Chains A and B, each alone.
Chain A
Amino acid sequence: MKKQLYPILLIGLMASLPVSSHHSPASHYLIDQMISVEGKVTKFRLINPHARIYFDVTTAEGTVQHWLAEGNAAAILKRRGWKNDTLPPGDVIKISGNPARDGGHKMDWKLIVKEDGTVYRGGNTVGSEQDRVLDDAEKRRQEQKLQPQDS
């Protein structure tokens, strides 16, 4: 199956966020930029310090590129329902995230969409993922407003 490599796009607005540790996403990735590619999963590792998806992307010219995407820690993802087989080899995914500082075929993933439309998040919660957290909080806030108040 020939897959299209999507061009780098989307310069995102970023809040200034704490750089919190030796494996901060900002150490390896350009957290104010986003890329989106489509490829086929070859391996999924639900491990710490960051889960990894290995996948192959076939360019318009037919060249196969081997990619790596990093997400949140397994310690977090497992509590959110992720399993070792959440992304089995062979799954075709469209994946978005922050590109690598060194220009390699790596990203800090933010959003994954399977062929069947299933959407996964599970990325490090900065940038666009932080905005989704805030959107969820807004949804909760609106729900709370609709709930009857205790007298």
Chain B
Amino acid sequence: MKNTVLKRTRGRANLFRNGVALLIFSTVSACNSSSIDEQDIPDISGVWTNALLSPEDSRWRIEDLACARTGCSLTGFNYLQSLLQDPNESRSVKELFYDMRDYEKEFNTNLLTPLAQQKATEYRPEEGAALDCTPEGDSLRHQITAPVPMEIQQFDDKVIMRYEYWNAVRTVYMDGSIASDAALTRLGVSTGRYAGSTFIVETTRVISNIIGVPGGGALAPSEDTRFVERYTLNPDSGRLDLELAIIDPMHFRKPYENQRSYLPAPDWELDEFICEAITGEY
């Protein structure tokens, strides 16, 4: 699937590019072409797994396994990674992880604006409960980072991101246009671009659903929040590393960054996310 989609779309791209190149070759240097060089596009098409679903894969780093379920902020992940790489560090993974949580808590407390601190403190988990099968109240951040398989399909004009979680489908438009008056939705409006081995997605117009913040509590970001995902392909391991920045000056003094890593799962297909609401019987 991965190669088929990419080759098919790239094949069309080559036909188009070749034709355009013939027309403009005499006047424009090939070095100045604005079309995307195929060599520069990371091949990230396919189904991706995470460290919670396939922990036995030897390519996972210890920090991937430790952060597999609950996730880590980028700051916390990098801190844990530095501890694990310290040859003089003798503490267990568990001790290092909770050290990281303390560090993360302190860092992210400073990250929150006074308004955000107030909201996070006032949040009551029981008031956010809605154990039904409607995804509308679930945040974009959770949609992106939930430890459930996802699939990426790359085309010239768009990238499709499918998630087993809620059967969600995101379309990332590669032409750079976002309608500023688009309606707010749970998944927002996304544009994308490539930068070397990194696929960058920027999303706005997202409904303000509650997200947790490290250190405790949760809050609803503002409607002007920008979500920037950076998916970087590691050619040696095949691992895809995500850094998700939530940019909301009303609540965060600087981008609130999350981390997640993926490995290719070429033999997997996405299953239907069959959901059944609790009826109250037991």
Contact = CB atoms under 8 A, between A and B. Distances in A.
Interface in B128-148: 128-131, 133, 137-139, 141-142, 145-148
Given A75-B165, A134-B97, A49 B139 contact: no
A24 to B, nearest CB: 6
A58 to B, nearest CB: 16
Contacts of B130: 22-23, 27
Given A73-B148, A75-B273, A134 B217 contact: no
Contact of B70 (A75, A101, A130): A130
18 contacts: A17-B101, A18-B70, A20-B139, A20-B142, A20-B145, A23-B130, A49-B131, A49-B133, A50-B131, A67-B282, A68-B282, A75-B273, A76-B53, A133-B65, A133-B68, A135-B93, A137-B62, A140-B65
A99 B234 CA distance: 42
Contacts of B101: 15-17
Count class of interface residues, chain A: 35 or more
Contacts of B273: 48, 75
Contacts of B129: 22-23, 27-28
B148 A23 contact: no
A101 B164 CA distance: 29
B23 interface: no
B138 A134 contact: no
Nearest to A29: B125
Nearest to A22: B137
Interface residues of B, number: 58
A27 B128 contact: yes
B221 interface: no
B74 interface: no
A134 to B, nearest CB: 4
A39 to B, nearest CB: 12
A3 B135 CA distance: 39
Contacts of B125: 19, 24, 26-27
Contacts of A49: 131, 133, 275
Nearest to A47: B276
Interface of A: 15-24, 26-28, 45, 47-50, 52, 54, 66-68, 73-76, 78-80, 101, 105-106, 124-126, 129-131, 133-138, 140-141, 144
Contacts of B6: none
B213 interface: yes
Contacts of A66: 282
Nearest to B136: A22
Given A15-B101, A79-B53, A141 B282 contact: no
Given A28-B129, A138-B93, A21 B214 contact: no
A126 B105 CA distance: 17
Most B C-beta atoms less than 10 A away, residue of A20, A66, A137: A137
Contacts of B214: 16, 18
B164 to A, nearest CB: 5
Given A27-B128, A131-B94, A48 B212 contact: no
Contacts of A52: 278
B276 A76 contact: no
A125 B69 contact: yes
Nearest to B258: A18
Contacts of B215: 16
Given A16-B105, A137-B62, A140-B65, A106 B218 contact: no
A75 B271 contact: yes
A18 B54 CA distance: 22
A73 B148 CA distance: 9
Contacts of A47: 274-276
Nearest to B216: A16
Most A C-beta atoms less than 10 A away, residue of B148, B212, B276, B282: B282
Contact of A133 (B69, B133, B271, B278): B69
